[in-house]
Chains A and B, each alone.
Chain A
Amino acid sequence: MDALVAAYSGASPAEDRESVWLRLWQPGLSAVGRNAGTADLVQMWQLVMSGLSARKYVAAACPAWVDGEGVVHVPLDFYVFPSSMGLRYTLEAGHGEISEGRQVTLRREFDIVFDQTDTAQLDYLVNQASFEFLTPAYNRYGEQISRPEIEIDGITARLSQPCFCVVRVSCDVQCWLHTATMHLQKYEYGTSDDPNWTGYSITNLKNAILATWQGADGREQTASLPLEIPGCVADYLALCGDGTPQVIIKHRGNKWHMVYYSICTGNILGVRSVDPRER
């Protein structure tokens, strides 16, 4: 398969009549941080076996951490893709603060399926791209035809003729990286080591970014990005409501000992010993 490279032409896509534009994008959370795995369980187990609390354990890749004052900090990255890196814009967050932008180049790699068409819209302004045809090209009668030429024009990939084919694209994307950080008081009454602390359940958390810039005609343009709160953060914040959620640890010997813990505070709510022969 041939590897092909097309230089960015600098022209605006035909579909984008505005020559000055800006897009916002939040990357998805890595699966590593999305779900707890056995590695997390081992870590929590090691903490408990060492006499330390595992109640504040948050998976390493989950974007949340708790400080000693019981405040949960949730930093969420997002990218700004402007039509030119010189475009001036302002950002506002519904909650928390936004960091200064850091210019970054993202390396992206994905497949495009052309289904008897000659254009495909991309998600961002592509700086330089290489292409690899993963399939032959077919016309609408299922006949194999010679591969068309391909070009990326801003955010549009174009073929020299409509056909079916799958193309692998590797490209560099120039953009600005920002971090929106929310701060939520989750625990109170002393430090997190205080056994009498109280946890709050925080649910239905929402946040959005609003970007403002000046369009080609001088008028103000806006774009908004509702931030996705990762599930691991939402679950963590929702824990520790009124203290009723509990876990039970059973030990089976001559007697069954059941220890009830509050998952909010880690406090022991009660211990019950049951003789299995009496059950």
Chain B
Amino acid sequence: MHTLTATYSKSRPKSRQRLIIEQEKWAAYTGALTRYSAAAFISNLAYGTDLSVNVNCGFVDGAVATLVHVYPLDLGRDYRAHLSWGTLGEHVVEEYIMQESINFAGARQAPLKYPARKVISLRWQGQVFDQHLDPIPPPSLRTSGGGIQSAEEAYGTVLVSYETVRHNYTVRIGRRENAEENKYSSVFYAVHDGGVDHLVLSEPPAADDLEGDCASGGGGSVSIEGPDPGSPNYPEPGGDRETVYDYCTGKLISDDIYGV
């Protein structure tokens, strides 16, 4: 352990971006019960049905499981990928067909979001307008550099289908033992001769609080008072019944009667 002293100096220019790094979006309802799952769970409780209660917590075997896509802006340049926390799988090269809508707002040129290796199709969507917002016949389009060029300055939307190359990395982020918070935080970073590109990875909702058991939610125990022992209708106790359900799947784990 050291006590540190540092001096202040101004920031320098950042790295030159060589890569576009994106994380696969968490699917809708990740980390929570869907209404369907809730209804199925109630049905299982009420009617003894065996409906599937699938809940996606964003975890695999106790670790956050996600996918990172890296789009090299220049396929000829190498880089080394790392994680600040967790394990990174071998990358898989994918030739991916991207569909992108590009807005032209009175300009002739508009960039593509990802590096295109081959443009497959290119067409205007809907009406196209000129600088005075009068409808015009769709101007011709062609690819130019890393973008799309229109023959005229126009307002409109172009639907582009193009092939891009991306590197897919599987990411597994285990829990930090003894961490107070941000137990699954991690940064994906790629080192190249132009510096470092990085992406702070997002955790699935409820990761820190529920740690992969997002279906269970809060809950706790319910204390239900029995009938008044002085009542003439007070039943003779037959035993204690303990019924245990799996909170995630709603499946019956055990149903035992004790003390009979």
Q: Chain A residues in contact with chain B, CB under 8 A? A: 2-7, 14, 30-43, 45-47, 50, 52, 59-62, 107-111, 113, 115-119, 130, 134-135, 138-142, 148-151, 158-162, 164, 166, 170
A147 to chain B: closest CB distance in Å? 11
Residue among B33, B179, B205, B209 making CB contact with A38, cutoff 8 Å: B33
Q: Name B79's closest neighbour in chain A (CB-CB).
A: A142
Q: B11 and A118: CB pair below 8 A?
A: yes
Q: Name B190's closest neighbour in chain A (CB-CB).
A: A142
Q: Name A134's closest neighbour in chain B (CB-CB).
A: B84
Q: Which residues of A contact B42 (CB under 8 A)?
A: 41, 45
Residue among B8, B82, B195, B250 making CB contact with A119, cutoff 8 Å: B8
Q: Which residues of A contact B7 (CB under 8 A)?
A: 158, 160
Q: Which residues of B contact A151 (CB under 8 A)?
A: 4-6
Q: A60 and B218: CB pair below 8 A?
A: yes
Q: Given A38-B33, A162-B9, A162-B12, are A7 and B3 neighbors across the interface (CB < 8 Å)? A: yes
Q: Given A35-B217, A110-B181, are A158 and B191 neighbors across the interface (CB < 8 Å)? A: no
Q: Name A47's closest neighbour in chain B (CB-CB).
A: B222
Q: A110 and B185: CB pair below 8 A?
A: yes
Q: B219 and A40: CB pair below 8 A?
A: yes
A65 to chain B: closest CB distance in Å? 14
Q: Name B11's closest neighbour in chain A (CB-CB).
A: A117
Q: Which residues of A contact B129 (CB under 8 A)?
A: none
Complexed CA–CA distance, A134 and B86 (Å): 11
Q: Which residues of B contact A35 (CB under 8 A)?
A: 31-33, 206, 214, 217
Query: Counting CB contacts under 8 A, is B2 at the interface?
Result: yes
Residue among B15, B45, B84, B222 making CB contact with A111, cutoff 8 Å: B84
What are 29 inter-chain pairs, A to B, with CB distance below 8 A?
A4-B1, A31-B214, A36-B217, A37-B216, A39-B247, A60-B218, A60-B219, A61-B218, A108-B181, A109-B180, A109-B181, A110-B182, A111-B200, A113-B198, A116-B11, A116-B12, A116-B14, A118-B8, A118-B11, A130-B1, A135-B84, A138-B195, A140-B194, A150-B6, A151-B6, A160-B6, A160-B7, A160-B9, A162-B11
Q: Chain B residues in contact with chain A, CB under 8 A? A: 1-16, 31-33, 38, 41-42, 45-46, 53, 82, 84-85, 179-182, 185, 187, 189, 191-196, 198, 200, 205-206, 208-210, 214-220, 222, 224, 245, 247-248, 250
Complexed CA–CA distance, A151 and B7 (Å): 9
Q: B46 and A45: CB pair below 8 A?
A: yes
Q: B4 and A164: CB pair below 8 A?
A: no
Q: Which residues of B contact A141 (CB under 8 A)?
A: 193-195
Q: A108 and B15: CB pair below 8 A?
A: no
Q: B182 and A109: CB pair below 8 A?
A: yes
B191 to chain A: closest CB distance in Å? 5
Beyond the given A32-B209, A149-B6, A164-B189, could you list 8 further A-B residue pairs with CB under 8 A, ordered by the A residue number? A4-B2, A35-B206, A47-B224, A116-B12, A138-B195, A142-B191, A151-B6, A164-B196
Q: Which residues of A contact B53 (CB under 8 A)?
A: 38
Complexed CA–CA distance, A3 and B3 (Å): 11
Q: Which residues of A contact B41 (CB under 8 A)?
A: 38, 41
Q: B11 and A119: CB pair below 8 A?
A: yes
Q: Which residues of A contact B248 (CB under 8 A)?
A: 38
